[in-house]
Amino acid sequence: MQASPASAELPEKVDRVLIVDTYHHIEDRIAYFARLRDSIKPGGQVAIIDFTLDSPVGPPKNTRIPAEQVGAEMKRAGYAQIAQHGFLPYQYFLVFRPQP
């Protein structure tokens, strides 16, 4: 599904949402992800993959968002981080679950 800047535009609740290399493009991220919680089934997850600050490829360095900031923003939007994977060479891979 292709989302709009204001909404994920999901037609029904989903088990997982995967956001790859676009988190840094979302303007009001806390509000966006707070709204997204209504589109996720109980026990569902949101996975966010984006470029690390020191990656030699990716968007301009001044537009990148550190993984720690993503975690803090997602917490403010009502999510708990449940995993962080380190197998990608230039990106972080974070997984979150909406909190009740």
pLDDT digits (tens, 9 = 90+) for 14-43: 999 999 999 999 989 999 999 999 999 999
pLDDT at 46 (0 to 100): 98
pLDDT at 16 (0 to 100): 96
- Taking the C-alpha atoms of residue 78 and residue 88, their distance in angstroms, rounded to an integer, is 26
Look at residue 49 and tell me whether its pLDDT is greater than 80: yes
Contact indicator for 84, 48 with CB cutoff of 8 Å? no
Contact indicator for 98, 82 with CB cutoff of 8 Å? no
| Stretch 45-49: mean pLDDT | 98
pLDDT at 1 (0 to 100): 66
User: Whole-model pTM?
Assistant: 0.92
Distances (CA, A) of 13 to 16, 33, 75: 9, 14, 21
DSSP-derived pairing of the beta strands 14-20 and 79-85: unpaired
* Residues 52-93 pLDDT 10s: 999 999 999 999 999 999 999 999 999 999 999 999 999 999
pLDDT at 6 (0 to 100): 76
Look at residue 7 and tell me whether its pLDDT is greater than 90: no
- Taking the C-alpha atoms of residue 66 and residue 63, their distance in angstroms, rounded to an integer, is 10
